[in-house]
Amino acid sequence: METVVDGPLLSMRSTLVFLLALLAGTAAGGLTALAGEGGPRSVLAGLAAVGLAVPFFNRLIGAEGSPVRPQGGAGAGEGESHG
């Protein structure tokens, strides 16, 4: 019996978000280990970094198909004339 997969398991964006979070967690755990902390603390630091990095990279990369619009600042529509 064959199993047919219609599409990828994760989108390219999700894969990139998880990959970047994994790299950030590995770096945090490695640096914690190099700082002289024990193995369990290094693993916990890495897992905490992954947990914080997923929403960070998710927001940084943005949703597919949604344009990035500025949230105010100079030239945000106040006093501009499009004449």
Compute how many other C-beta atoms are within 10 angstroms of the C-beta atom of residue 77. 8
CA-based angle 67:23:10, to the nearest 5? 55
Reported as type and span, the H/E element at residue 35 is none
More confident residue, 51 or 78: 51
- What local confidence, expressed as pLDDT, does residue 74 receive? 60
- What local confidence, expressed as pLDDT, does residue 63 receive? 64
- What local confidence, expressed as pLDDT, does residue 82 receive? 61
Query: Are 55 and 80 spatial neighbours (Cβ–Cβ below 8 Å)?
Result: no
Report the Cα 49 to chain-centroid distance in Å. 11
Could you tell me the residue ranges of all domains in the chain?
12-61
pLDDT in tens, 46-74: 999 999 999 999 999 886 666 656 566 56
Buried b (16+ CB within 10 A) or exposed e, 5-16: eeeeeeeeeeee
